[in-house]
Amino acid sequence: MKDLFQASKVLLLDLASTLLFLVAYVLTGNLFLAVGLGMALGLAQIGWQLFRKQPVEALQWLSLVIILASGGATFVTDDPRFVMLKPTIIYIVVGIVMLKRGWMNRYIPPIARATVPDLGILFGYIWAGLMFFSAALNIVLALTLDATAWAAVKSVYAISSKVGLFAIQYAVMKSTGIRRAKAMMATTT
C-alpha cells in the first residue's frame, strides 16, 4: 500500500494544475479565474521544488510550459472553443514525451524497477496511447458540446481514465512482480 500511495501522490501532484483548472471552471464558470489558478499552482509547484533543491523532471517542465503558454493564450483570445481544444495539443505533446523509453521510472518504486522493468516500459507506451486517444476524444467533445457540458465530461473523463489505467497498471505490475519474485526465490533454493 505504501508504494501505491507514493505513486498516487506523484501522479496527483503532476495532474494538480489541470485538476484545479477543471474543478474551478466547473464550480465557478469563470474561465479566467480557473486558468489563473491553474497557472499559479503550476508555478508554485515548480518553485517549491526548486526552493527545496529537488530535481524537476522533464515532464514537469513541459507541463509548466504548456500550462503557461496555453493559459496565456486563453487570456489573449478569450475564446471558449480555443480553451476547449487546447487540451488536445497538451495531450499530443505529453503523448509524444511519453513515447520516450523509461519515462515512467520516476513513478515506479525500486522493487518494481527490479522485478518488472519490462512492464514499466510497456505501460509507458500504453500511457502514451491513452494521451493520443484523449486528444482525439477531446476534439470530438469540443466540437459537439457547449463549454459547460465539455468541462463536466472532461472532468470525469480526465480523472477516471487516468485513475483507471493507473489501477490496472498497479494490479498487473504488482501481481506479476510477486509471481516473478517467488519464481526467482524458488530457483535460488
pTM to 2 decimal places: 0.68
Domain that holds residue 141: 2-188
pLDDT for 11 beyond 70: no
pLDDT for 165 beyond 90: yes
CB atoms within 10 A of CB 153: 14
Total domain count for the chain? 1
pLDDT for residue 67: 76
Contact residues for 182 (Cβ-Cβ < 8 A; gap 6+):
none
Calculate the average pLDDT of the chain: 85
Give me the DSSP letters along 26-87.
HHH--HHHHHHHHHHHHHHHHHHHHHTT----HHHHHHHHHHHHHHHHHHHH--HHHHHHHH
pLDDT for 3 beyond 60: no
